[in-house]
Amino acid sequence: VGPDDRGHPDSADPWLDERQQRSWRTFTLMQEQLRSRIEQGLQRRSGLSYADYAVLSALADCEQHALRAFDLGRALGWEKSRLHHQLTRMQKRGLIERRTPTGSRNSRWVEVALTDDGLDAIQKAARSHVQEVRTLVIDALSERQLSQLDSASQRILDRLDEIPCADDSGG
Amino acid sequence: VGPDDRGHPDSADPWLDERQQRSWRTFTLMQEQLRSRIEQGLQRRSGLSYADYAVLSALADCEQHALRAFDLGRALGWEKSRLHHQLTRMQKRGLIERRTPTGSRNSRWVEVALTDDGLDAIQKAARSHVQEVRTLVIDALSERQLSQLDSASQRILDRLDEIPCADDSGG
DNA sequence: AAAGATTGAGACTTCAATCTTC
DNA sequence: GAAGATTGAAGTCTCAATCTTT
């Protein structure tokens, strides 16, 4: 699917040229493959999903190893429902616990905290995970390339914030 | 989690420095957000998941609008099982059909072909999808940045091929 | 009523086991 | 028996609806 070779370069051509198309495909393929590989390694070595790791890691990085669920969701960029289900599963496995934050009985906020098992899990998983990220990505790129990737990512993130979710507007 | 500030720059330091860490986080956040946004738009405007789109698009791009399942899987980089389930769902919805390839009754190969509805669906979905990709990514970057993103992606893909799935080796 | 949390259904993915053809 | 295809179970994510506190 794409522009049939009818050779009418309209003013607002919605299609991509060869090179753009190839770049986009390479990029998305890389994303898929990379995520899948990292997910796989994490699962095999530590019994954690990437989602598990993200949650544990975010909690481990903060003061009391605890965060309000809402803030955690914002930090991860997750839908509230996804976070809720994820936390429920992790709680069942004893990796985290939910409580009402100190100093306010009975609020609408939920606090999520690392358990000892959770801390243990993330500490054991971190080293090999970081190692793998380094091997597959960081060391694959020059310092310059990494910094370029960073700014491109930032640029796209900004774009996502600037531009609202497009409504149905295609004929 | 990470290197406690114990200041011992070992020979094989498995951790990432501040900048690398930030880059990695920005990068993964971007991936998540971008995928989620694109998935959302596609779903809302066309009732297709990104997976649906990928399959339809791959089929539409080839000669008879048909491919061997195996080749399709390789092109998409998907696990066979994922592909199978996906195709089953799409077949149920009438977007594709499975058949035994022409010229060989009864082989172990399965051929997947676009139905008329499938072709219709991808043609209707393509324009707005490409438009969104352009808006969010292509136009967000300079030509130079896009090409840099391309080569970084390629570099990482190569890396994924070079390096075998690491076995449990952390202790 | 708005913000945050919860719930359930349905769609999607992965893993491991099995079936079939070569 | 190896390659490709199929199956089922379990885990994950999304959407829309609901509950609870402010």
Chain D nucleotides close to protein (CB under 7 A) are 3-9, 11-17, 20-22
| Test the A interface: residue of B27, B135, B142, B154 with most A CBs within 10 Å | B27
Probe site for chain A from B31, B138, B165, B167 (most A CB atoms < 10 A): B31
B124 Ramachandran zone, left/alpha/beta (phi>0; psi -120 to 50): alpha
3-state secondary structure of B96: strand
Q: What is the pLDDT of residue B170?
A: 44
Neighbours of A29 (CB within 10 A): 19
Give the model's confidence band at A4: pLDDT under 50 very low, under 70 low, under 90 confident, else very high.
low
Chain B environment of A151 (Cβ under 8 Å): 145
Q: Are B24 and B32 in contact (CB under 8 A)?
A: no
Task: List all residues 6 or more positions away from B109 whose beta carbon is below 8 Å from its beta carbon.
Answer: B68, B69, B70, B100, B101
Output the tens digit of pLDDT for each of chain B's 171 residues. 766 555 555 556 779 999 999 999 999 999 999 999 999 999 999 999 999 999 999 999 999 999 999 999 999 999 999 999 999 999 999 999 999 876 555 688 999 999 999 999 999 999 999 999 999 999 999 999 999 999 999 999 999 999 988 765 443
* Through-space separation of residue A89 CA and nucleotide D11 C1' in angstroms: 10
**How many angstroms separate the CA atoms of B54 and B61, rounded?**
11
Helix residue ranges, H only, A16-64: 18-46, 50-60
Query: A82: Cβ–Cβ under 8 A, 6 or more apart, which residues?
Result: none
Q: Are B44 and B124 in contact (CB under 8 A)?
A: no
Going by the DSSP 8-state scheme, the letter that residue B22 receives in this structure is H
